[in-house]
Chains A and B, each alone.
Chain A
Amino acid sequence: MSITVRVMALPKAGNRNDEYEDACWPDRALTTTQPVVHCAIADGATESAFAGLWARQLVAAYGAAGALGAEDWLPALTLEQARWQSQVAAKVLPWYAEEKARSGAFAALLGVTIEQEMQAKVRPWQAASVGDCALFQVRRGVLLRCFPATTSAFFTNRPLLLSSLPEQNAALAAYKCHAVGELWPGDVLYLTTDALGQWFLNRVEHGAAPWMEMEAALARRKRGFTRWIAALRNNGQLRNDDVTLLRIAWPEQ
């Protein structure tokens, strides 16, 4: 069986769809037989301008080749930074947007690359992360892996993020995390942005199985998922923020 990817993306309550500043790759559901599958999720920071553009650039760059996840990732990052700067510099901006853009855009990025040899019994994955996106792996109804966050306290409103300006990234190498693992038939990887990741780990800390709740919501398609997120926000369980979820599965025969 081939790897399948499902995508859910919702803006912060009160924001318009065009104010959504998360991004993911792929950006729509697919089933793929590609020998190497790149998936990524990014979260543009509210307190920076052109953060959605930066987040979309980062996931597209990761999705195209995974170079942003490699050990030697600086050339790929430098290329994206230059692209962001040239796109923003081409715009005529009011004084406040010009000043805000001068500080750069910021985003969290988490990418996972899965090797998919169709006859193999397991499919190895490797992930890289900067900031507060999250990866969870579930196998046979059990939470197997959390990366990079392992507790809900990991999530604050002041994470260290990838900047579109090199000078804002001085300490970044120390904050880039890597992980490796294996997909077995039936396994699911969930990639989330921070609000949903924080909710997930908080539920785990209370003895719940949040992946079951997510699966139930995903089964109700986009409208049901949207209602579920709205209910979590309304009862205070989920911080009001953009929500993005990638569900990557290797279905059993």
Chain B
Amino acid sequence: MPYQAEISRTNPSCFLFLIDQSGSMEDPFAGGESSRRKADLLADAVNRLLQNLVIKCAKEEGIRDYFYVGVIGYGEKVGPALSGQLAGRELAPISDIGNLPARIEERKKKVEDGAGGIVEQTIRFPIWFDPLCHGATPMAQAFTLAHDVLARWLPQHADSFPPIVINITDGEATDGDPSTAADALRSLATSDGNVLLFNVHLSAKGAKPIEFPDNPALLPDQHARLMFDLSSLLTPTMRTVAQQEGYAVSENSRGFVFNADMISVIKFLDIGTRPSNLR
């Protein structure tokens, strides 16, 4: 059975984020926060994904290196996109990500007080990635660079849970059809299965969020349908956890979300007991 490998410090997996930094990301987002640019929401989404991944691996004594993590931006340039001390690194252990954010901001968060009320807490919000939107959308080049980065990582991790690539974009590639490059990326594999390519499509159109669809006919336009086609199927374990989390998924559900985030995918990964009442 594929996608069963234990994720551990001796057998880590990998997350690679591909971030659309093209000029079209300057447009406003339609998913409920229309005053904000897609680029700002994308930066928030990436920082939240990294934050959630670090917290998943965090224990009181530090961060356990269950994952290597990289961020590739594509717009005017295609290349590593982390800021601060991690600038220029293709992949870094998750402990480096957690310990070396570019800066830490303070933000307000509303939480339950345990007595039926809501209180506002000040939390530390680490920033690794700043908004940038300039140039075209060379998505095929980004897939090709991701392929090259993972092809270098895989020989040392031949039995790992396969790397997960999460591409966040408005879905309009300008360097031709990215399907061939995406196929090549998904064809890379460990002994446990092929690389998983998941896509997050942020649209300026006023369409409601769609998460892990199984039918492209229900998607609002051809860009979304293309991103669906490029996306890997959810693994059986991911489907099981998704169902436990309340998502309506089937055997044909893909790792694709439209005008939504993909933080849930981090919950879908098994690194040990996760209480069902942990919120």
Query: A interface vs B, CB < 8 Å?
Result: 14, 19, 43, 45-50, 53, 91, 93-104, 106, 157-161, 163, 165-172, 194, 240-241
Residues of A contacting B56 in the complex (Cβ-Cβ under 8 angstroms): 47
A170 to B115, CA, bound (A): 11
Asked, given contacts A95-B104, A97-B58, A100-B58, whether A46 binds B277 with beta carbons under 8 Å apart, the answer is no
Q: Which of B9, B51, B113, B279 contacts A14 (CB 8 A)?
A: B9
Asked if A95 contacts B124 (CB within 8 A), the reply is yes
Q: Give the one of A43, A46, A194 with max B CB within 10 A.
A: A46
Q: Which of B9, B62, B124, B273 contacts A46 (CB 8 A)?
A: B273
Asked, given contacts A98-B124, A99-B123, whether A163 binds B271 with beta carbons under 8 Å apart, the answer is no
User: Digit string of B35-60 for contact with A (CB within 8 Å is 1, else 0)?
Assistant: 00000000000000001001110111
Q: Give the one of B55, B270, B275, B276 with max A CB within 10 A.
A: B275
Q: Which 8 A-B pairs have the closest CB atoms?
A: A46-B272, A167-B114, A106-B275, A96-B58, A47-B274, A95-B124, A161-B275, A45-B273
A94 to B104, CA, bound (A): 11
Asked if B277 contacts A171 (CB within 8 A), the reply is yes
Residues of B contacting A45 in the complex (Cβ-Cβ under 8 angstroms): 272-275, 278
Asked, given contacts A45-B272, A47-B271, whether A161 binds B59 with beta carbons under 8 Å apart, the answer is no
The total of chain B residues at the interface (CB under 8 A) is 37
Asked if A106 contacts B278 (CB within 8 A), the reply is yes
- Could you give 13 example pairs across A and B, Cβ below 8 Å? A45-B272, A47-B272, A94-B98, A96-B58, A97-B60, A99-B55, A102-B123, A160-B276, A163-B275, A165-B114, A166-B114, A167-B112, A241-B273
Q: Give the one of B58, B98, B104, B273 with max A CB within 10 A.
A: B273
Q: Give the one of A45, A95, A100, A159 with max B CB within 10 A.
A: A95
Residues of A contacting B274 in the complex (Cβ-Cβ under 8 angstroms): 45-47, 157-158
A20 to B99, CA, bound (A): 24
CB-contacts of B209-234 with A (<8 A): none
Asked if B276 contacts A168 (CB within 8 A), the reply is no
Residues of A contacting B279 in the complex (Cβ-Cβ under 8 angstroms): 103, 168
